[in-house]
Amino acid sequence: MDRKRIGFMGLGIMGRAMAENVLQGGWPLTVYNRSRDKTVILAELGANVASTPKDLAQASDVVISMLTGPEAVYALLTGENGCARGLEAGKVFVNMSTVSPAYAREIASGLAPLGVTYLDAPVSGSKKPAEEGSLVILAGGPKETVEELTPLFLSMGKQVIHCGDVGQGSMAKMGINMLLGTMMEALGEMLSFGRAGGLSDDVLFEVLHASTLACGLFTLKEKMLREDYYPAQFPLKHMAKDLKYAVDTAYETGAAIPGAAAMQQLYTAAKAKDMGEMDFSAVAKVLLELSGSKSGC
């Protein structure tokens, strides 16, 4: 792939690290973020900073967005200074934010009359894999465009999986996050159950890690659960929205996902209890509080 000019919108927890890796991969980079202070570090590393999404799109061949969700993508795409005003035939718009498959297809059909190719390319992996460039990129859209952009994706990730047509990257992302949200809640239940019955956290985690259920997620979240301290890697508010998209999608497709529907309620309730900015593992905190146990032993 020749060195296309890349535009990157959204420098939050994930986007900042991903944009840094694009820059370090040698691509000419222009960045935009609603709160301009987050662009400073990228500018110091050599990125250009655009004043508007439109300017960013005009300066780029490929525009990537890594934003909270559909409302943010819509806000930066549309309007007088929106990104769509700077996109033209031959350019590619890659949305790496997590949105529903239906929304991915909606953006694709909105951009098609301009001759702009759309890919949905959400990621599996959180803050640390974003920093290390070891995300898994779940791409939906034309195969040849995915192949053409694979070197760019591999500056941010360790693997690119072409999931199918536009929307299927988001389908795969809904699937993996449903599993993630459910597993995290189940670990919270084990902790709540064990503590209420007098088991120490040492014993609980020793048993867990010795079992066939031992996995990277449980190892990663152990410290937060034991210390009842949840600095956000994957904010809980994002899990609540992703589960909503999964439930909405299942309604459209007819899939039976009763567990995920219950999880959507629980994560949404946790968000309402001001836990939205905490890591999603704080769902355990809700369960522990409900059972009258707050700290480890």
From the candidates 54, 173, 221, 285, give the one annotated as an active-site residue.
173
| Residue of 153, 234, 245, 267 that binds ligand NAP (CB under 6 A) | 234
Residues 6+ apart with CB under 8 A from 6: 22, 27, 28, 29, 30, 60, 61, 62, 63, 64, 152
Q: Which is nearer to ligand NAP, 68 or 291 (CB)?
A: 68
Task: Please name the residue ranges forming H helices in 157-296.
Answer: 168-196, 201-210, 216-227, 236-253, 258-270, 283-290
Cα–Cα distance between 35 and 288 in angstroms, integer?
36
Piece of the chain touching ligand NAP by CB under 6 A; list 121-129, 209-217, 259-267, 282-290: 121-129
The reply on whether position 66 binds ligand NAP by CB under 6 A is yes
| Residue, CB closest to ligand NAP | 12
CB of 127 to ligand NAP, least distance (A): 5
Q: Which residues sit opposite 30 in a β-bridge? A: 7, 48
| Residue of 54, 238, 271, 285 that binds ligand NAP (CB under 6 A) | 238
Q: Among 155, 77, 69, which Cα is nearest to 109's?
A: 77
The reply on whether position 133 binds ligand NAP by CB under 6 A is no
158 is catalytic: no
The reply on whether position 183 binds ligand NAP by CB under 6 A is no
Burial label for 227, CB within 10 Å (0-12, 13-18, 19+), is: exposed
The reply on whether position 126 binds ligand NAP by CB under 6 A is yes
Q: Can you give the binding site for ligand NAP, defined by CB under 6 A? A: 10-15, 33-35, 38, 66-69, 71-72, 75-76, 97-98, 123, 126-127, 233-235, 238
